[in-house]
Chain A
Amino acid sequence: AQSVTQLGSHVSVSEGALVLLRCNYSSSVPPYLFWYVQYPNQGLQLLLKYTSAATLVKGINGFEAEFKKSETSFHLTKPSAHMSDAAEYFCAVSDEANAGNMLTFGGGTRLMVKP
């Protein structure tokens, strides 16, 4: 069975500082990994995904993530936080061991950006 752990349910950074949101996964077969963002009272929007091509994945809004198989990690980073980045971020995994490719989500990390 696949699972995702997001370390830190709340992360606070200053505007302009580095954003680092941690995600570790467990999967019995090569995984597909996703980061979604959820703004208040909205649905989930895909930031980026890893599907076994390049291990460093660039997404929207300046975010990127690196797939590290040896560490079973897929941490999300952004060099410089903006106030508009304040939201909840979800890491998710799917793999072809599951017939429907459904997503298994981590518990989420709420990012707060201080002025």
Chain B
Amino acid sequence: DSGVTQTPKHLITATGQRVTLRCSPRSGDLSVYWYQQSLDQGLQFLIQYYNGEERAKGNILERFSAQQFPDLHSELNLSSLELGDSALYFCASALGLAGGETQYFGPGTRLLVL
């Protein structure tokens, strides 16, 4: 158990809909990362927050957005869903911003868009 929790575990929805994925980092961790794992794209970094502020952006679509709240939990919002958004979405947390810090991964949310 990494100490990172993600809800829900599974999500099935239809094209055009909007969903919210939730992540609670390990106690004491200030950085939260979101990654997408799909068969065709592999594991890709989406976005990072540090202590409530957006820190870095990767290959995140404009239809996707995220935020980190004062209690440090984070939410990833996916809207106007398409079939190709079906994937496993991971949240990871780390203590801060130091180079080489270990990122601890949650169990993921499996999203299926029908």
* Chain A residues with a Cβ under 8 A of chain B: 32, 34, 36, 42-46, 49, 51-52, 90, 94-96, 98-108
Q: How many A-B residue pairs have CB under 8 A?
A: 64
Q: Contact between A43 and B99 (Cβ–Cβ < 8 Å)?
A: no
Report the minimal beta-carbon distance from A70 to chain B, rounded to whole angstroms: 21
Shortest beta-carbon contacts, A-B, top 8: A100-B56, A51-B100, A32-B100, A105-B43, A43-B105, A100-B48, A44-B105, A102-B45
Q: Contact between B90 and A99 (Cβ–Cβ < 8 Å)?
A: no
Assuming the A-B contacts A46-B102, A99-B55, are A104 and B107 also in contact, with contact meaning beta carbons closer than 8 angstroms in the complex?
no
Q: Contact between A44 and B42 (Cβ–Cβ < 8 Å)?
A: no
Q: Contact between B42 and A107 (Cβ–Cβ < 8 Å)?
A: yes
Give Cα distance in the complex from A101 to B90, angstroms. Answer: 16
Give Cα distance in the complex from A46 to B25, angstroms. Answer: 16
B100 CB contacts on chain A under 8 angstroms: 32, 49, 51-52, 94, 101
Main secondary structure of the interface of B (DSSP, over half): strand
What class of interface size applies to chain B in its complex with A?
20 to 34
Give Cα distance in the complex from A108 to B92, angstroms. Answer: 18
Assuming the A-B contacts A43-B106, A43-B108, A49-B100, are A102 and B48 also in contact, with contact meaning beta carbons closer than 8 angstroms in the complex?
yes
Interface residue? B103 (CB, 8 A) = yes
A36 CB contacts on chain B under 8 angstroms: 105
A49 CB contacts on chain B under 8 angstroms: 100, 102
Chain B 83-114 per-residue mask, 1 if CB under 8 angstroms from chain A, else 0: 00000001010100111111111111000000
Assuming the A-B contacts A43-B90, A43-B106, A43-B107, are A101 and B42 also in contact, with contact meaning beta carbons closer than 8 angstroms in the complex?
no
